[in-house]
Each structure stands twice: as C-alpha cells, then as structure tokens.
Amino acid sequence: MAMNSSSPLINKVIAIVLVVIGFLILASGYRYGSPSSLVGGCIVLVIGVVLLIATVIRRNRQDHTS
C-alpha cells in the first residue's frame, strides 16, 4: 500500500524532470544549431508531457470511482 501511494508523486517528479531536461536539450540544440539535439529534446519533452497527462488522467479516474 505505501508503495502505491507514493508512486504518483514519483511519477510526477520524473515527468517534471523529463520536461525540464527535454526543454534544456531542445534550447541547447536550437542555440547551437544541432538537429539531433532538437529531435532528442523534443522526444524527451514529449515523454515528460505524456507522463504528466497520464498522471492527471489516472488521478481524475480514481477520484470519480471513490
């Protein structure tokens, strides 16, 4: 039970870290004109955003079933 209750917090933190890192990679790629960094930053950023959206959807689904 304790692992399950802290899991959404860990998922949220990981998602936010991925968004920040993805944005930094994206900005660095834009600054230095590196297409591979642009693509890599976009991918990491999108993964972080998808994880955040999934966390919100999961939380809202649990609120409606309780």
How confident is the model over 1-55, as pLDDT tens digits?
Answer: 344 556 778 889 999 999 999 999 999 999 999 999 999 999 999 999 999 999 8
Compute the CA torsion angle 24, 26, 37, 17 (nearest 10 deg).
50
Q: Are the CB atoms for 48 and 25 separated by under 8 Å?
A: no
Is residue 14 within 8 Å of 51, Cβ to Cβ?
yes
Is the whole model's pTM more than 0.75, yes or no? yes
